[in-house]
Amino acid sequence: MSTPIMQPAVQPRQIRAIVFDKDGTLFDFGATWEAWAQALLLRLCPQSPDRAADLGRHIGFDMKTRRFAPDSIAIAGTALQVAQALAPHVADVSTPQLLNMMNDEAAQTPQVQAVPLAPFLDRLRRLGLKLGVATNDAEYPARAHLGAAGITERFDFIAGFDSGHGAKPDPGQLLAFADAVGIPPQLVAMVGDSSHDLIAGRSAGMTTVGVLTGIAQADDLAPFADVILPDIGHLPAWLGA
């Protein structure tokens, strides 16, 4: 059941395009990225689980519980920001090398779909909607994840933090999507699981839809969301389809 927060700038039936965050939105955040964090930390500290656990604290990850803290930089930050947080605590590995290692691990990490994505996206496309992805992950692993799910071609636009449009919470990726598909931002919905996503959507002049398949709770998203849904599977009903 959706929880409306405030009246959207346009009615849902007027929406002509949707841009999605990836992690925590298209894919369940915890089920995917907790496994990635554990694999990365053990790769960096292969002989010392205790050292790996200490390293995890610098990115807000608890190795014992395999859980991210709500304020973890890995939740809404870019991959580069995560690498920069780890780099001072890892000997003999530069930030670019660490970023490459992170992207390699990310590309290999199985993604758990929030809902069965292929039929869901096909349903949205049959409604005539343009679809995009705007993620603070790098574009290479993002495309690997979408490709592994067999859904890359269903999107009209895919951007990571390194695609030349900036990173959320700045609106550059979202405005680039609107420009690429020729839809005014006010007729676009931004769907995401973090405040960074929704702040970017607000800054771009888009309707903002929060989903609860990430770490953030409804109260965290409420100040920035026009509507909050349990997951993306509720979008067609919200759109009135």
Q: Under CATH, what is the fold of the domain 3-28+113-239? A: Rossmann fold (3.40.50)
CATH code 3.40.50.1000 region(s) in the chain: 3-28+113-239
Nearest residue to 198 (alpha-carbon basis) of 209, 188, 187: 209
Is it the case that residue 77 has pLDDT exceeding 50?
A: yes
Tell me what percent of the residues of the chain surpass a pLDDT of 70.
Answer: 96
Is it the case that residue 66 has pLDDT exceeding 70?
A: yes
- Binned at pLDDT 50, 70 and 90, residue 2 comes out as very low
Range from 34-38, 78-82, 150-154 that averages highest in pLDDT: 150-154
Query: What's the pLDDT score for residue 7?
Result: 43
> CA quadruple 186, 161, 139, 229: dihedral positive or negative?
negative
Q: In degrees, to the nearest 5, what angle opens at C-alpha 126 toward C-alphas 135 and 190?
A: 30
How many whole angstroms separate alpha carbon 168 and alpha carbon 155? Answer: 19
Query: What's the pLDDT score for residue 153?
Result: 98
